[in-house]
Amino acid sequence: MIQLKRRAELEVMAEAARVNREAMDAVAAAVAPGVTTAELNALAEDAIVSRGGRPAFKGYRGASATPFPGTLCTSINEVVVHGIPDDRALVEGDIVSVDIGTFYRGFAADLARTFAVGRVSEEARRLIAVTEASLAAGIAAAQAGNRVGDVSAAIQDVVESEGFWIVREFVGHGIGRAFHEDPEVPNVGRAGTGPVLRPGLVLAIEPMVTTRSTRVIVLDDGWTAPTADGSLAAHVEHTVAVTEDGPWVLTAAPDRVPAPAAAPRR
Amino acid sequence: MARRRFTGPPKPRRDEETTQDTIRTEGVVLEARPNTTFLVQLDAGPEILAHVGGKMRRHYIRILPGDRVVIEISTYDPEKGRIVYRK
């Protein structure tokens, strides 16, 4: 069931999103060759807990049999999502997707970015840019009166016109008092289909993009989800509220709201 | 954290051996009845009406009076059964 939020609830969700973003900022400042993903995890956890929040992923089960052990997901190179932080050090040329979730005053926020570690290949750089551009296009389509399919189609259009591929095994989702709420927000779809976006709906929009056409598998740890053929993958995400005045990107700093104008042109 | 796409409830397995709510017993076929049903004398005593299971039909396993068969009986209707194996 889709849960719409009142204005006051959206204000609290914006607070939760701010805590989450500050944890991401701490991680962003630390990403460098030689840093382990466990160290990034500790930074994020400190940032969330010191602000009175609770890491949303830690202990989360979802569809997996084993609870997720970390505060953030660190998905390196061919891992699309849900990589488990450990003692692996980042290496120059890696791309690492960091996904952080926070509960704060009863509400959840969800945010992901993909970072280049040092200098990366031209293809990796373009993959990240296109993924971010597709998220911006998806956010721009999150207008009251539109449908979920409009968001999906906007993302798909950007990614496929740039020659990359969209992961279909995982989807974005509604978010609020629960981490995963209805509706599902696929990154492929037809405009004009799906549930109508009403003011007060909050979505985690999260394109997952790969360099080649491939399936995504889940390793025996129950979480780590790499591409089956080793293709590079990027994943970015914002928590976005639908309002009468247009999309409100809760997890973005006010001066860094992704705009579709940021889409790269060939 | 991305959500695993919901692809519908898991499909029930159409395998007689894993069907729930049934009791397995053995018996001897007494008589062929219309519509591929058979009267079976259970080792435990009672005579019940049984049809031939889908997997046996698919493989054209023929049942004749006198055959020993394994039967699954519904716990909801002990008068009827399904033949799942011919010995």
User: Please, which residues bridge with residue A115 across strands?
Assistant: A96
Residues A133 and A158: beta-carbon distance below 8 Å? yes
Q: Residue B15 pLDDT more than 70?
A: no
Residues of A in contact with B1 (CB under 8 A): 56-57, 60, 62, 68, 73, 81-82, 99, 101, 110, 179-180
Closest Cβ opposite residue B3 in set A68, A170, A235 = A170
**pLDDT grade, residue B9 (50/70/90)?**
low
Stretch A69-73: mean pLDDT = 96
Domain ranges of chain B: 18-86
Contact B1 A171 (CB under 8 A): no
Average pLDDT score, chain A: 93
Contact A62 B3 (CB under 8 A): yes
Count Cα neighbours of A53 within 13 Å in the Cβ-side half-sphere.
32
Is the domain covering B18-86 a CATH 2.40.50.140 domain?
yes
Residues of A in contact with B5 (CB under 8 A): 168-171, 184, 186
One-letter amino acid identity for B35?
N
Q: How many CB atoms lie within 10 A of CB A213?
A: 11
Residue A183, preceding bond cis, omega within 30 degrees? yes
Q: Residue A230 pLDDT more than 90?
A: yes
Query: Measured on CA atoms in the order B16, B22, B25, B28, is the torsion positive or negative?
Result: negative
Chain position carrying tokens 């069907």:
B19
Measured CA to CA, the distance from residue A205 to residue A171 in angstroms comes to 8
Instruction: State the smallest CA–CA distance between residue B10 and chain A in angstroms.
Output: 13
Q: How many CB pairs under 8 A join A and B?
A: 42
Closest Cβ opposite residue B1 in set A99, A168, A169 = A99
Minimum mean pLDDT range among A13-22, A96-105, A251-260: A251-260
Specify the fold of A7-262. Creatine Amidinohydrolase (3.90.230)
Measured CA to CA, the distance from residue B2 to residue A237 in angstroms comes to 9
Strand (E) or helix (H) holding B27:
strand B22-33
**pLDDT per position as a tens digit, B33-76:** 888 899 999 888 888 889 888 888 888 888 888 889 999 887 77
User: Please, which residues bridge with residue A99 across strands?
Assistant: A73, A112
Rounded to 10°, the helix A37-50/A7-30 angle is 140
Structure tokens at B43: 């080792």
**pLDDT grade, residue A96 (50/70/90)?**
very high
User: Please, which residues bridge with residue A210 across strands?
Assistant: A165, A233
Of all residues in chain A, what percent carry a pLDDT higher than 70?
Answer: 98
End-to-end CA, chain A: 41
Q: What is the pLDDT of residue B10?
A: 62
Residues B28 and B67: beta-carbon distance below 8 Å? yes
Measured CA to CA, the distance from residue B64 to residue A226 in angstroms comes to 55
Q: Which of A184, A188, A236 to mutate to test the interface with B (most CBs of B within 10 A)?
A: A184
Closest Cβ opposite residue B1 in set A57, A169, A184 = A57
Instruction: State the smallest CA–CA distance between residue A150 and chain B in angstroms.
Output: 18
Minimum mean pLDDT range among A61-70, A142-151, A228-237, B9-18: B9-18
Instruction: State the smallest CA–CA distance between residue A57 and chain B in angstroms.
Output: 8
Measured CA to CA, the distance from residue B70 to residue B51 in angstroms comes to 12
Give the E-state strand segments of chain A in sequence order: 54-55, 72-76, 79-81, 95-104, 107-116, 165-166, 170-174, 181-185, 202-205, 208-210, 225-226, 233-235, 238-243, 246-249
Higher pLDDT, A165 or B80: A165
Chain position carrying tokens 């996904």:
A99
Q: What is the pLDDT of residue B4?
A: 84
Residues of B in contact with A169 (CB under 8 A): 4-5
Residues A137 and A154: beta-carbon distance below 8 Å? yes
**pLDDT grade, residue A249 (50/70/90)?**
very high
Q: What is the pLDDT of residue A235?
A: 97
Stretch A1-30: mean pLDDT = 95
**pLDDT grade, residue B8 (50/70/90)?**
low
Q: What is the pLDDT of residue A64?
A: 79
Domain ranges of chain A: 7-262
A18 Ramachandran zone, left/alpha/beta (phi>0; psi -120 to 50) = alpha
Structure tokens at B7: 């692809």
Q: Residue A239 pLDDT more than 70?
A: yes
CB proximity under 8 Å: B 5-34 to A: 5-6
Contact B2 A82 (CB under 8 A): yes
Q: What is the pLDDT of residue B80?
A: 87
**pLDDT per position as a tens digit, A21-65:** 999 999 999 999 999 999 999 999 999 999 999 999 999 987 778
Contact A62 B5 (CB under 8 A): no
